[in-house]
Amino acid sequence: MSKWIMENLFFQSLRSKQIAVTVVSLTLFVAITTLVLFEGTQKSVTLQVNGEELEIKTHAHTVGHLLSEQEIEVAEHDLVTPSVNTSIEDGLSIRWEQSKQVAIQVDQEHTDIWTTSSTVGEALALAGINVTEYDDVNPGLSTKLEADNEITVHKAFEVMLNDGGEEKKVWSTSTTVADFLKRENIQLNDDDRLNRKAEGYLKPGSVVEVVRVEKVTDVVEEPAGFAVETRSDSSLLKGREKVVQEGKKGTVSREFEVVKENGKEVSRKLLAEKVITEPQKKIVAVGSKVMLASASTGRSGVGISRSNTDAPSGGQEFYVTATAYTAYCNGCSGITKTGINLRANPDLKVIAVDPNVIPLGSKVWVEGYGYAIAGDTGSAIKGMKIDLHVPTKNAAYKFGRRQVKMKVID
């Protein structure tokens, strides 16, 4: 092959390579230019997905188109802001919150809701459930809400608590008395009492009463009464008494078990008794002498003749209200307090007196009646009153009631 031909072939090969390089360069230029133009026409947006923020460049025309590009399927209850039909603009901020199904149990009522709320409290507010500070909410109001959450609400109700006599109203969600006392930090002692069983159920308006029972020992010194001994004395007129020995109280120490309920004593039981000072008994002589009355005259006898009505000299003189009675009056036995038988001796002059004013057995003179003996008593004869014995009812009616002067002679 000639030198010319070889040179010609070489130049042809070189030209083919130059054309190929030119074509490749042109293609690359077009591609780069197209890419630059494509990237340059994208819009920058901020997408917040369940709280996580993303920066995205997109050619999407609407928010819905953008979410589809991101493989986000929007459900009925999801939150999308702005709406899916909103046109995409550069710098647009888009938020998508996926909804969650939540089961809410309020006491005995059950509700299911779909929500995009982030906390339990927000979900309850969305469901229109008002929660007070006394209600029991599980999980807590500030707990982050997850998918398939279950929320339980126990509504509080008022209970009247009486602890040891102190009353107050308490909001509670307890269903039993025992749980209520535990939540209120109320401790019961062994002797304390409840007005209802600990395992009993509570409801609105229930009353829980705690009776605080306290048992204490009380030691006191008290006076000890003395005994009274009576001795028959034949030297004293029947109906009269004479103190032979005055009584003196002793001292005794007594130990009691005292039971108090809510601070007030309700019972006292004697446990032990010890005599500190012995009491001295009182001795009383009781007269047993029966005075024999007669109708004889003269001051040596008990009775004086009716005709002798002149007032004697000496003696204590005073005025009394006088009435008359017979041995056969209603309720009368005929035997006086001093043992005189008036039915056997209807003419004897005997008067009934108040022994605190005129001692029994005293000899007396009564104006219009004469000398007599204070030998009887009567339930109606009190103070400055006397009752004169007369033989017949007619004589008693005739005497009536009058003021008379009398004297106690002996």
**Helix/strand/coil for 126:** helix
Quick check: 234 and 285 in contact, CB under 8 A?
no
**Domain shared by 150 and 167, yes or no:** no
Q: Which residue has the tokens 């923020």?
A: 53
Which residue type sits at 31?
A
Residue 245's contacts (CB-CB under 8 Å, 6 or more residues apart) are 280, 281, 282, 283
pLDDT of residue 350: 95
**Domain shared by 93 and 108, yes or no:** no
Check which CATH number belongs to the domain holding 225 and give it: 2.20.230.10
Positive or negative, the Cα torsion across 231, 235, 241, 247?
negative
Residue 20's contacts (CB-CB under 8 Å, 6 or more residues apart) are none
Task: Assess whether pLDDT exceeds 80 at residue 307.
Answer: no
Which of 287, 316, 344 terminates a domain? The answer is 287
**Domain shared by 19 and 127, yes or no:** no
- Mean pLDDT in residue range 66-77: 85
The winner for highest mean pLDDT among 18-27, 61-70, 217-226, 294-303 is 217-226
Quick check: 221 and 253 in contact, CB under 8 A?
yes
User: Do the strands 100-106 and 150-154 form a parallel or antiparallel pair, or are they unpaired?
Assistant: parallel
Tens of pLDDT, residues 270-301: 999 999 999 999 999 888 776 554 433 333 33
Distance CA 365, CA 406 (A): 5
Range of the domain at 173: 157-211
Token pair recorded at residue 281: 């008994």
| Reported confidence tier of residue 263, pLDDT bands at 50, 70, 90 | very high
Alpha helices in 70-138 (DSSP H): 120-126
Give Rg (Cα) of the chain.
61
Tens of pLDDT, residues 351-379: 999 999 999 989 999 999 999 999 999 98
DSSP 8-class letter at 2 = -
Q: Which of 177, 211, 176 is nearest to 194 (CA)?
A: 211
Which residue type sits at 317?
E
5 — phi, psi (to 5°)? -65, -40
**Domain shared by 167 and 130, yes or no:** no
- Mean pLDDT in residue range 257-281: 93
pLDDT of residue 299: 36
Task: Assess whether pLDDT exceeds 90 at residue 54.
Answer: no
Token pair recorded at residue 401: 């009631």
In this structure, how many other beta carbons lie within 10 angstroms of the beta carbon of residue 343? 12
Which of 116, 131, 154 terminates a domain? The answer is 154
| Reported confidence tier of residue 77, pLDDT bands at 50, 70, 90 | confident
Q: Which residue has the tokens 């009380």?
A: 218
State percent of the chain over pLDDT 70.
Answer: 85
**Domain shared by 165 and 229, yes or no:** no
Tens of pLDDT, residues 131-190: 999 999 999 999 988 877 899 999 999 999 999 999 999 999 999 999 999 999 999 999
Quick check: 92 and 55 in contact, CB under 8 A?
no
pLDDT of residue 266: 93
**Domain shared by 145 and 247, yes or no:** no
pLDDT of residue 295: 38
Which of 236, 266, 287 terminates a domain? The answer is 287
Check which CATH number belongs to the domain holding 308 and give it: 2.40.40.10
Range scoring the smallest mean pLDDT among 75-79, 207-211, 245-249, 318-322: 75-79
77 — phi, psi (to 5°)? -100, 5
pLDDT of residue 332: 85
**Domain shared by 306 and 400, yes or no:** yes
Check which CATH number belongs to the domain holding 185 and give it: 3.10.20.90
**Domain shared by 323 and 399, yes or no:** yes
Tell me the average pLDDT of the chain. Answer: 85
pLDDT of residue 306: 39
pLDDT of residue 302: 36
Distance CA 312, CA 371 (A): 9
**Domain shared by 194 and 268, yes or no:** no
Domains contained in the chain, number: 6
Tens of pLDDT, residues 82-130: 988 898 888 888 888 888 889 999 988 999 888 888 899 988 898 899 9
**Domain shared by 313 and 400, yes or no:** yes
**Domain shared by 144 and 166, yes or no:** no
Check which CATH number belongs to the domain holding 79 and give it: 3.10.20.30
pLDDT of residue 305: 38
**Domain shared by 176 and 186, yes or no:** yes
Tens of pLDDT, residues 377-405: 998 999 999 999 999 999 999 999 999 99
Check which CATH number belongs to the domain holding 111 and give it: 3.10.20
